[in-house]
Amino acid sequence: MAYDSNSPKAELDNQPVSCSGIFRTYAPKLKAFEHLPAVNLAEATTGTEELNTILFIGGLGGDILSPHYMHKRVVPSIYGDEELAGWRAAEVAISSSARGWGTGSVERDAEELAKCVYYYKSIRPHGKIIMMGHSTGCQDIFYMMTRLTPTPPVDGIILQAPVSDREAFTPLPTCATLLTISTTLVKAGPSPGHPNAPGGRTILPIELTSQIFGWDQAISANRWFSLTAPPHTVTGCPTGQEDFFSSDFSEDVILKYTWGRLQPDKTKVLVLYSEEDEWVPAEIDKEKLVATWIKIMKEKGVRVDEKNSGVVEEASHDLSEVEESVMQDVLGRIKRFLSWVGEGETINTSG
């Protein structure tokens, strides 16, 4: 999502952060930062085949330790709960982290996350794995769970602030112009006469993208089209590769292309939609939207945590500057979900 470099949140992002943890290289040049509980390093890294792991991926522009709620609130809450002593938390960096997202793709993001899942499955073969995403990170997880074959062995997914980038960006200045340019480039692409034409790989004009992001963010036509392309004018189906959470899809489209694509009776699902999400247009009925998603999942036999999923009252997009009662509500939902996932059978690499 867009980011105001002059906001109080930006000042918070620039503050020094100290966390106890270890970096794990899960693929060449790709790392995850695993937070350590309040024990010594040897105790935390040996005899861990039975440990469960929650892997976190942030949104556009996010990186390890961003957004802050994961390392400041979620991790300490999990590690401080004796009933969740068998869980570890790691924040995942992918090629699209920080400013890399603009020239990447949701497909590459998903493939890299899958590598992280398989890595942790190799070192903790008897433990559960939960993927937790924030904002666009939810799209990465959703793509991984509905488009990759085989589906990675994930026991649960948590989607916090799964908002539509298309609906968030559309009202912003220059968005329409950028989409027009992107559409032209993507449709043109390389041709027999011009096999090296960049087409969708072309970087969009910086003077236009900077009006949205506040800095010189390189964004390819492919990625902007993937994020903001409108639905098909006839079928209503998504045309953007990562348009999963928009509110204008019919139930039939949701069933065939988004929530109905999750595998039934396997991975458990928790949806946490923020009531005061600043990136959701005011006219969208959040309660109705989430209720529709849950309805579709139940009809398909998806194991949705209906009790803890829903719209979180007074919650902001990234849970910054919320009342303590709101944060406790979120933490409670997450920990109850971890307990539920921890009780079930582990999904193996062949499942």
In this predicted model, what pLDDT tens digit does every residue of 146-157 receive, in sequence order? 999 999 999 999
Say if residue 11 is exposed, middle or buried (CB neighbours under 10 Å; 0-12, 13-18, 19+): exposed
Judged by DSSP in three states, 240 sits in coil
pLDDT at 47 over 80: no
In this predicted model, what pLDDT tens digit does every residue of 90-107 receive, in sequence order? 999 999 999 999 999 999
Question: Which of the four pLDDT bands, split at 50, 70 and 90, describes residue 44?
Answer: low
In this predicted model, what pLDDT tens digit does every residue of 284-335 receive, in sequence order? 999 999 999 999 999 999 999 999 999 999 999 999 999 999 999 999 999 9
In this predicted model, what pLDDT tens digit does every residue of 203-230 receive, in sequence order? 999 999 999 988 899 999 999 999 999 9
Query: How is 270-286 classified by DSSP, letter by letter?
Result: EEEEETT-TTS-TTS-H
pLDDT at 8 over 50: no
Which domains are seen in the chain, by residue range?
A: 8-164+250-343 (3.40.50.1820), 168-228 (no CATH)
Question: Which of the four pLDDT bands, split at 50, 70 and 90, describes residue 258?
Answer: very high
Give dist(CA 82, CA 78) in Å, integer.
8
Give dist(CA 59, CA 62) in Å, integer.
5
Q: What is the pLDDT of residue 229?
A: 96
Q: What is the pLDDT of residue 45?
A: 57
Range 81-94 average pLDDT: 96
> Which residues does 264 contact at the CB level (< 8 Å), separation at least 6?
300, 301, 302, 303
Tokens of 119: 């890595």
Q: What is the pLDDT of residue 191?
A: 52
Query: Nearest Cα to 312, choosing from 304, 298, 323?
Result: 323
Give dist(CA 308, CA 314) in Å, integer.
16
Amino acid (one-letter) located at 318? D
HSE at residue 253, side-chain half, CA atoms within 13 A, is: 17
Range 48-53 average pLDDT: 88
Give dist(CA 267, CA 304) in Å, integer.
9
Give dist(CA 1, CA 299) in Å, integer.
32
Question: Which of the four pLDDT bands, split at 50, 70 and 90, describes residue 265?
Answer: confident
Which is higher by pLDDT, 282 or 13? 282
In this predicted model, what pLDDT tens digit does every residue of 56-71 receive, in sequence order? 999 999 999 989 999 9
Q: What is the pLDDT of residue 6?
A: 41
Rg of the chain taking only CA atoms, in angstroms: 20
Tokens of 340: 């539920």
Judged by DSSP in three states, 123 sits in helix
In this predicted model, what pLDDT tens digit does every residue of 322-333 receive, in sequence order? 999 999 999 999
pLDDT at 10 over 50: no
Tokens of 257: 């292309």
Judged by DSSP in three states, 159 sits in strand
219 and 102 Cβ atoms separated by less than 8 Å: yes
Question: Which of the four pLDDT bands, split at 50, 70 and 90, describes residue 2?
Answer: very low
Query: How is 264-330 classified by DSSP, letter by letter?
Result: TTSSEEEEEEETT-TTS-TTS-HHHHHHHHHHHHHHHT-EE-TTT-EEETT--TT-TT--HHHHHHH
Query: How is 170-239 classified by DSSP, letter by letter?
Result: TTSTTHHHHHHHHHHHHHH--BTTBTT--GGGSBPPHHHHHHHHSS----BHHHHHHHHPPPPTTT----
212 and 220 Cβ atoms separated by less than 8 Å: no
pLDDT at 43 over 70: no
Pairing of strands 310-312, 268-274: parallel
Neighbours of 219 (CB within 10 A): 22
Q: At what angle do helices 221-228 and 175-188 cross, to 10 degrees?
A: 120
Give dist(CA 311, CA 272) in Å, integer.
6
pLDDT at 5 over 50: no
